[in-house]
Amino acid sequence: MSLPDHLMSALHDAGLDPGYVEDLARAALEEDLAGGVDVTTEATVPPDQQATGDLVSRGEGVVAGLAVAESVFVCAAGGELEVSRPVADGTRVGRGTVLTTLTGPTWALLLAERTALNLLCRLSGIATITRRWADALDGTGAVARDTRKTTPLLRELEKYAVRCGGGENHRMSLSDAALIKDNHVVAAGGITEAFKAVTKAFPDVPIEIEVDSVDGAVEAAEAGAELILLDNFTPFDVARAVEAVAGRARLEASGGLTFYAARTFGETGVDYLAIGELTHSAPILDIAFDLRPAD
């Protein structure tokens, strides 16, 4: 079976590929079964029993991935469930907030529970930490942006969660934008030479250049870079780079950024803060699944 139309539409509207989400849900469920069956549920739950389950937040944060979690339950049940989602992705929630209510076969709800929660808690944790950074930068003009430091095979979902938290995405892959880093500069013989080489080979691809000095930022701007990555700059040096580049390129601070210094960096005039911890170190948002007899 494929996912029901309403769920396909919800995933599509979120910028997610429904086919990818369904394949991921099925693979994750199979990983949990490991070629066998849910022995506990098989032994304790009548096959025709129906139940209702609530996904409930156990903490304060921002929710992300509700349609993804629902997809897991639908795949486990082998068909549509009765589903109610009183909140939407990107919503700030508090302890005790009911996020989704599902009614269907008890065995399917229990089979899908942990897999759905693993994804939902992870994505909501990313959205929550992103929201903290976005709030810290509010009014500065700077935007929190993610990196490619994502969990293998979960990049599409994790970058979606960043958007739910008020952040922006950097490139999704190595092919949709060029990031000329220090090793590329060395190999090409310099900043300008590296920029020219990429422009010649891929004239339609956006180009960002990593630099480690204000002089390097100026050279990158003069070469024609659209975006310049300021690697391990202090706030003082970021402000100097902003002044020296004078609007010829957008600037992104990266490396060694801490939440407590976020506003200091944002007030330098930089356009973006590249924050790896949004995806590589986000703690989960604690969410539980509470089962009760079907109404």
- Domains belonging to the chain, first-starting first, are 5-134+283-293 (3.90.1170.20), 138-280 (3.20.20.70)
pLDDT at 2: 85
114 as an active site residue: the answer is yes
149 as an active site residue: the answer is yes
Catalytic one among 22, 113, 231, 252?
231
- pLDDT over 70 at 1, yes or no: no
**Lowest-pLDDT range, 34-43, 76-85, 236-245, 257-266?**
76-85
- pLDDT over 90 at 77, yes or no: yes
What pTM was estimated for this model as a whole?
A: 0.96
Catalytic one among 181, 196, 250, 263?
181
60 as an active site residue: the answer is no
5 as an active site residue: the answer is no
196 as an active site residue: the answer is no
pLDDT at 90: 98
Percentage with pLDDT > 70 across the chain: 100
- Output the 3-class SS for the chain: CCCCHHHHHHHHHCCCCHHHHHHHHHHHHHHHHCCCCCHHHHHHCCCCCEEEEEEEECCCEECCCHHHHHHHHHHHHCCCCEEECCCCCCCEECCCCEEEEEEEEHHHHHHHHHHHHHHHHHHHHHHHHHHHHHHHHCCCCCEEECCCCCCCCCHHHHHHHHHHCCCECCCCCCCCCEEECHHHHHHHCCHHHHHHHHHHHCCCCCEEEEECCHHHHHHHHHHCCCEEEEECCCHHHHHHHHHHHCCCCEEEEECCCCHHHHHHHHCCCCCEEECCHHHHCCCCCCEEEEEEECC
- pLDDT over 70 at 233, yes or no: yes
pLDDT tens-digit readout, 195-222 = 999 999 999 999 999 999 999 999 999 9
pLDDT tens-digit readout, 154-199 = 999 999 999 999 999 999 999 999 999 999 999 999 999 999 999 9
Catalytic one among 148, 149, 171, 196?
149
Catalytic one among 26, 114, 248, 250?
114
